[in-house]
Structure formats: C-alpha cells, structure tokens
Structure 1
Amino acid sequence: DVERFMAFQIASLDWIAQWEHKPNVIHCHDHHTGLIPFMMGNCNDYSHLSYIPTVLTIHNAQYQGQFGWDKLHYLPAYDLRNSSKLDWSNSINPLASAIKCAWRVTTVSPSYLDEISYKANGLENLLAQERGKSFGILNGIDNEVWNPQKDPMLTKAFANRTVESGKKANKDALCDVFNLDKTKPLYTFIGRLVGEKGADLLPDIFWNALEQSEGQINILVLGSGDPAVEDRLNEITHYHAGKYNAYIGYNEALSHQIYAGADFLLMPSRVEPCGLNQMYALRYGTIPIVRRIGGLKDTVTDIGDGGFGICHDQTSVWDVGHAMGRAYDLYLDQKKVKEIRKFIMTLDHSWDRAAQQYIDLYQM
C-alpha cells in the first residue's frame, strides 16, 4: 500500500504541475493522499505549487498510513531539515503530516472533531495543536439516488403525503420475501458486520429482544463481514422463524427496499465519524435507533429531547436492548409515529448543504 499510495500522490501532482491554469485549492482525503500538502510545500519538484491552499478531510483518524524511514526514498527530493513535518512517533505518518501541513483540516462531522481530541490513535496532541484551523462539516447524501418518490428499486414509491401507504406496501413486500409478520414493528440493521459498527453484539441483542418481546417484533439484517458474526446471525433464523431473518451479503436494491419498508434502523456503532445510513433512513421515513457518537449525534435527536429518533449512550447489549424497547413503546403510539415520519422526510441532509459549507471554507 505504501508504494501504491505514494505512486498515486506523485502522479497526481505531476499531472497538476502540467496544467496551464492551476486549481484554486487542492482537497485531500485521509492518509491515502496525506503527503500531498507536504510535497507541495517542501519538495523541489512542486515548489511552484506551494502557493495553492490545501485542505485535508479526516474520515477516520484510526487509519494513518504510517511507514518506516527506510522508505524515505519514495518521496521526491526535499530539504531534509523539514523532515519533522513527516515524523510522528519515529515513523513517516501521512495523516499526521497532512494535519501539520494542510492549510485547513476538516472532519466529516462536528462531533467527530470533538471526539478525536481524545481518541485519535496517538494524534490527540497534534490535533489539539492544530484545532484553530480545524472544522467539522457533516457529509451529505445524494437526494436523487436516495429519493423515495422516484426510487425504481422500491415496490411502491412514495412522497411525504403518501408515506403511510408507501411504507406499508414496501414493508408488506419485505415480509412476504423474508417470512415476517406484517403487523409487527420491523427493526433492521444494514451494514458491515464488524466491531466498529457494534455488529459483534447484534446476535445477543437480537436474541434477547426476540425472547423478551414474545413474538411482538420482527428483525431483518442485511450485511456481511466477520464470518463468526455471520454464522451466529444465520443461526437465529432456526429458532425464530417468522420473526427474524438475515441476508448475508451485499444487495443494493434490497437496502433501498429495507430503508423504505422498515419501521426502525439500528446503528449501535462504536465508531461513526459521520454515518450515512441514518440519513438514508430519515429520507425514507424510517426512525433511527443510534448511539450518541460522531455524526449520529449530529443528525439524530432523541424523542425525549423533543426530537425524532431513539438514542443511547453505550454500545452494549443492555443499552441497545433498552433503546429497542423504547422504540416499541413509540410504535404503539401510531399517531406520534406518523408525525415523526412526515417530519423526518423533510430534513435536508443533501450535498447541497454540505457543499456550501466547503465553499465557505475554501474562501476563508
């Protein structure tokens, strides 16, 4: 990967260096392009690009791309007195270098910017030093791709005014395919079955919820990842047929159908710098159940705080189970559920909003 990402960054700068009209700003993402700000400001071959502002966006500070000084020769020639701009913990650290050298630093949500001040895999002090040039800007979603009024993957498209009939038609179709009860609330999880998403806890969470609800809920899972988690999720189908099912794998069309037909979407993440699934869910009138972390904290407000979602504080079997219980109580109040569905479908999480914030940043 070191060779691959170095080659990509050098090729990109070589290409830009040949442009007759230079860009107004160069925007880099994560460690994969993290050495570009350093090379523009310090490498002899790119000194004529040093006046161009650079922006770094951190999507996940846990991954930093560090490598040993024995590979320093991969970089174009520069004044070795500037090596401190590359160094972090006695290695070349592309993400750390970008934080030092970029003119501006952003994260993919305001709350994630706060979180990495105390949990950034060793970069906490550096991020604190550079906080003055750092900003949190929430990611957006494509409102044309994720549009329940025009989505060709749905059983029935629907708008805000037809949300109840639309969601019922899509829920009924899902229940027919996966042998679930159309009259019961449908809880779902969509995503990678990995620890960051809290997926290792899902088998216990779902087993407990199904046992305690005494057949009053449905659960449907779509995802893939850790084989052990996949096996345990599949195993539950043998004990709770008609109330639970799982599709192990990736299926884009099915994900759209689930967002449209589900009543609740679970996101018990341990780490979620931004999160997009909760935004898709809101767009389709599905109420999110999320942990208060990262972008989930910025996009979902608990019903107890006058909001529209169900929030919990810990990624634990008990905490998520309690949140599911609160969601069930909400489901029994169908008047409130209908009000929430209509409201959340009006929320704007489009890229238009996020893009304007980036334009404002570029012009600072």
Structure 2
Amino acid sequence: MEILHVSAECYPAAKVGGLGDVAGALPKYQQLAGAIAKVVMPAYQTPFRQQHTFDLVHQGGLWLGHDWYHFNVWKENGNSLGFDLYQVDIPGLLDTPGVYGYPNDTERFLAFQVAVLDWLNEWQHQPDVIHCHDHHTGLIPFLLRYGYKYARLRDIASMLTIHNAQYQGQFGWDKLYLIPSFDLWKSGMLDWGGAINPLAAAIKCAWRVNTVSPSYMEELLRSANGLEGLLNAERDKCSGILNGIDDKVWDSSADPMIDTRYNGNDAAKGKKANKEKLCERFGLDPSLPLFVFIGRLVGDKGADLLPEVIGRSLEAHPGKLNYIVLGSGDAHIEWMLQQARQHTAGHFAVFIGYNEALSHQLYAGADFLLMPSRVEPCGLNQMYAMRYGTVPVVRTTGGLIDTVTDFGDKGGFGIRFFQATAGDILHAVGRALELYASGTKFSKIRKTVMQLDHSWDKAAQNYLHLYISLK
C-alpha cells in the first residue's frame, strides 16, 4: 500500500505545532509497518532546506486565476527522515522563511494543492491513498472528485485528518476564480456559512475523516467552530485515532539535546542534574519543584491565564516553587509574561521564541508540565513530558482526557482539572505541590509515566487498517 501525505508542515523540515510532529513521525512508522509512505509539503526557505540536498523530480506550471506560476518538485535525496520527502517550490508564493501568517496565505496554499495534483496527474502509477492534513490541503478531496483535469485520479481514496478544527481556511466567493475548473453544479460542496470553507469541503468530499484523538472527535460533534452540524451529518465516516510520539526522538536515555541522559532506574538523579543546569541558566533555585509551560502563547492553549496563575501561586506559596515558560505567539501575552517576570524575580523565567533544544531540556529538568488548554485536539507535550518523567498537569479536554488519568483515580499518574480558569489551575498546582512533597508517591508516579507506551506503532497500525477499509 502506498500513501501520500500532503501537509503544510513536517518536522524537522518545518514545524509550527503538533501537525509538523505528526507529519514527520507517522509516515516513518507506517514505513516500518510495511507500507510505502511519502510526504509532500511546501519548500519554505528553512534551515532544513539549506542543510540538505534535493533532486529535481518534476517541473510544471499552473494558473492561479490570471497569474501563471512555475513550480518545481524536489525530493530530499538522503532519506534522512526515514521516508521520501518531497517539497513543492513555487517562487513568489512558497519561498518564504515562515509557514503561516502571510497576507496571501489563501493563494499560497491553494497553489500548493494545485501543484501537488498537477504533479500526481503525471505519475505513471497512482498512490492508494492521499492523506490530507488540515484545511491547508482541504480542497484536494474536492478537486479529486469534481476537478475536470483530475478525472484520472478520481478513484484514489482520499482521507482527511483534522488536527485543529478552529482553523478552517475560509475565504470569499470573490476568489472562486482561483480554483481550477470544476463542475459548477457542485459549488455547494465548497460552501459553509456563506464562504468557501476548505475544511468543510474536505469533510464533505473525503472518503474518511478522522481527528487526532477519540475524545476530540466527540467534542467536535458538540462544538467545532460552526462545523458541528456538518460533522454530525457525516459522522458515519468519522473516527478518532490517538496520535503517538516518536519514541526514538523523545528518549531521555539517548537524547543528544539534554545535558544529562537517564532512564527510569536513575530518573531522580538524571532529572536533578538537568534541573540544576536549567536553574543555573535562568537564575532559579534547583531545590524547589519546577513547573514549565511549553507551547504557543495563545488563548487556545490557556497561555493568557499564565501571568495571573504564576503571580497568585507564588503569593500563596512564597518561596516554594519555580516556573519557566517557553513559547511565542500573541504579542500581548508575551508582554504580560515579561511584565510578570519583573515582579517574580528568582522564581519565574520566560523565553520568548521557539527553541527545540531548550524544550527537550525543560522536559528533562522539570517536575511538572502545565497544560491549561482551552482546546487540545490531542496534545503531544504531555506525552513528551511523561517520557522524561515529568508529571502532566492538564485540563480535562480533548486528547488530554485520553492520555492523562488523575492520580486520585485508580491507576492514575497525572493531575487533571476541569475549567480553564486561574482558580482551577491554582488548585491543581496546590495538589501538585502536595504530591511533590509526598516523596515516595511522587517518585513512583514519575517511574510509572516513563513506562507508558505512547509510541506511533499502534497509531500507525490503526491508520493502515483505516486505509484498507477504504478499498
């Protein structure tokens, strides 16, 4: 079986969030399971592209409305990711240093999808499945069904994975002319809420739809940023498959990015050494429990609550805990965190930006990972943290429900709270401090979480079974 993943991100070539991690790991594990898995993504001007060599495998051109663009498809020739990686280069559109956030994102990702389909049209053979990820690739299932020039691709199974339904890629009908010619009687398949909605179109047109955790699928049937009715109408073809993590990359016993490597048998010693290194860097006391937040500083992640939580918890437990925040995002949240640092000197540090090596060191050195997410389709950070013996403190939502059981419940090993409010988070922090002070119980939980299996092996098999059902 041959699967072509189409994604806007793929770690380590380009990553903004969990989508990049999934697109960089799932194909590798599918290869190990005996399938042929490939990824095609835009050719952003990232360090990865500059540090690797590529072979030109296709040249073409496309109309985007009234504008003509030349495009190249390049294949990374070292197989460094464990699968074939292709990058679509469209000068003037995709040759950007960043992934998202440009005024012409609609045109950029539409051109990317057209280039991918034009390239596939030239293949002498066809993949069995085209696996689309999020709205950036959402028009592909529609064009496979109704695009005139893609008629020979019509029998290829298409699948959509929703990583985050909050972002749907809507644009106005005044840009309909940008889409390659199709049966106009099918225009309604593009529409949702009076706009062209790529995510809605993919839900309607893909052969199967899945979300990145079972609980997130159930949540979307109730609340999906306006898509609830559509998902309920299409629920027979929808399911949830929990993401995994690459346990070769996230391995405390072999991680080249952390200061001191360790396993479950010497976790206390190893984490102590890594915490000391972190605290030396940020001017914190290593004898205190360390809470960290790693991720995008946006409302969906509950990051706007952090300044209040940090300030109030340090008032309630003076001199008894430390915080480190790593991330970037909303400028106002970044500013609030910088301001909070001025009033919590010696117990709080913040690093604004993206730093992969520092994130690994934080997982290795922290005692608790804080995830107060309002929306968390799956969540990978909590699984990374547990691989390093860091106890997750999470809100009860989405994939956090599927991966973290509260230590107060039978067989529990984490801390969960229900509301994305400062009060609920503060209560959870208080419980974490009590757990930390328990000594033996905390050490046992730390050892337990390191032994949990969240690898991609099971998820990769679940996807392969789903692909087989399409035929």
**Aligned residue identity for 2:163:** H
Distance 1:70 1:179 in 2: 55
Q: Residue 167 of structure 1 aligns with which residue?
A: 271
Q: Give the deviation of 1:237 after TM superposition.
A: 3.0
Q: Which runs of 5+ in 2 are unaligned?
A: 1-104
Describe the superposition over 1:228-255 as per-residue Cα deviations: whole angstroms up to 9, x where unpaired: 3223322333333222222222222111
Question: Which of 461, 465, 468 in structure 2 is aligned with 1:360?
Answer: 465
Q: Give the deviation of 1:176 after TM superposition.
A: 1.7
Is 1:18 aligned to residue 118 of structure 2? no
Q: So what's the TM-score if we normalise by structure 1?
A: 0.97
**Aligned residue identity for 2:269:** S
Is 1:33 aligned to residue 137 of structure 2? yes
**Aligned residue identity for 1:279:** M
Distance 1:181 1:324 in 2: 18
Question: Which of 221, 243, 250 in structure 2 is aligned with 1:146?
Answer: 250
After superposition, the Cα gap between the structure-2 partners of 1:89 and 1:236, relative to the gap in structure 1 and judged at 3 Å, is: closer
CA RMSD of aligned residues (A): 1.3
Question: Which of 260, 278, 281 in structure 1 is aligned with 2:382?
Answer: 278
Q: Residue 262 of structure 2 aligns with which residue?
A: 158
Is 1:260 aligned to residue 364 of structure 2? yes
Distance 2:451 2:458 in 1: 14
Q: Residue 217 of structure 1 aligns with which residue?
A: 321
Is 1:325 aligned to residue 433 of structure 2? no
Q: Structure 1 residues 24-33 or 318-327, which shifts more?
A: 24-33
In proportion to residue count, which structure has more strand? 2
Question: Which of 112, 119, 140 in structure 1 is aligned with 2:223?
Answer: 119
Is 1:239 aligned to residue 335 of structure 2? no
Question: Which of 190, 196, 201 in structure 1 is aligned with 2:300?
Answer: 196
What is the identity percentage for the equivalent residue pairs of Structure 1 and Structure 2? 60
After superposition, the Cα gap between the structure-2 partners of 1:70 and 1:224, relative to the gap in structure 1 and judged at 3 Å, is: closer
After superposition, the Cα gap between the structure-2 partners of 1:251 and 1:105, relative to the gap in structure 1 and judged at 3 Å, is: same
Describe the superposition over 1:154-194 as per-residue Cα deviations: whole angstroms up to 9, x where unpaired: 12100111111111111111122222222211111111111
Q: How does 1:132-143 map to 2 (within 5 A)?
A: 132-143=236-247
Question: Which of 166, 178, 182 in structure 2 is aligned with 1:74?
Answer: 178
Distance 1:224 1:80 in 2: 42
Distance 1:103 1:183 in 2: 54
**Aligned residue identity for 1:59:** H
After superposition, the Cα gap between the structure-2 partners of 1:231 and 1:80, relative to the gap in structure 1 and judged at 3 Å, is: closer
Q: Give the deviation of 1:90 after TM superposition.
A: 2.2
**Aligned residue identity for 2:324:** L
Distance 2:322 2:193 in 1: 49
Question: Which of 352, 358, 362 in structure 2 is aligned with 1:248?
Answer: 352
Greater relative contact order: 1 or 2 (C-alpha under 8 angstroms, separation 6 or more)?
1
After superposition, the Cα gap between the structure-2 partners of 1:74 and 1:240, relative to the gap in structure 1 and judged at 3 Å, is: closer
Describe the superposition over 1:307-334 as per-residue Cα deviations: whole angstroms up to 9, x where unpaired: 1000000110000000000001101111
Q: Structure 1 residues 97-106 or 71-80, which shifts more?
A: 71-80
Q: Structure 1 residues 348-357 or 48-57, which shifts more?
A: 348-357
Describe the superposition over 1:63-103 as per-residue Cα deviations: whole angstroms up to 9, x where unpaired: 11122222222222222222221121222211111101100
Distance 1:77 1:250 in 2: 40
Question: Which of 208, 212, 217 in structure 2 is aligned with 1:108?
Answer: 212
**Aligned residue identity for 1:331:** Y
Distance 2:161 2:452 in 1: 24
After superposition, the Cα gap between the structure-2 partners of 1:46 and 1:190, relative to the gap in structure 1 and judged at 3 Å, is: same
In proportion to residue count, which structure has more helix? 1
After superposition, the Cα gap between the structure-2 partners of 1:70 and 1:235, relative to the gap in structure 1 and judged at 3 Å, is: closer
Aligned residue-pair number: 364
Is 1:310 aligned to residue 412 of structure 2? no
Is 1:297 aligned to residue 401 of structure 2? yes
Q: Residue 339 of structure 1 aligns with which residue?
A: 444
Q: So what's the TM-score if we normalise by structure 2?
A: 0.75
Distance 1:228 1:90 in 2: 32
Find the residue that maps to 2:324 and give its secondary structure.
Answer: strand
Describe the superposition over 1:210-240 as per-residue Cα deviations: whole angstroms up to 9, x where unpaired: 0100211111222222233223322333333
Describe the superposition over 1:97-128 as per-residue Cα deviations: whole angstroms up to 9, x where unpaired: 11011000011111111111121121110000
Describe the superposition over 1:30-79 as per-residue Cα deviations: whole angstroms up to 9, x where unpaired: 11111111111111111121111110011111211122222222222222
Q: Residue 91 of structure 1 aligns with which residue?
A: 195
**Aligned residue identity for 1:325:** G
Distance 2:333 2:146 in 1: 47
**Aligned residue identity for 1:349:** H
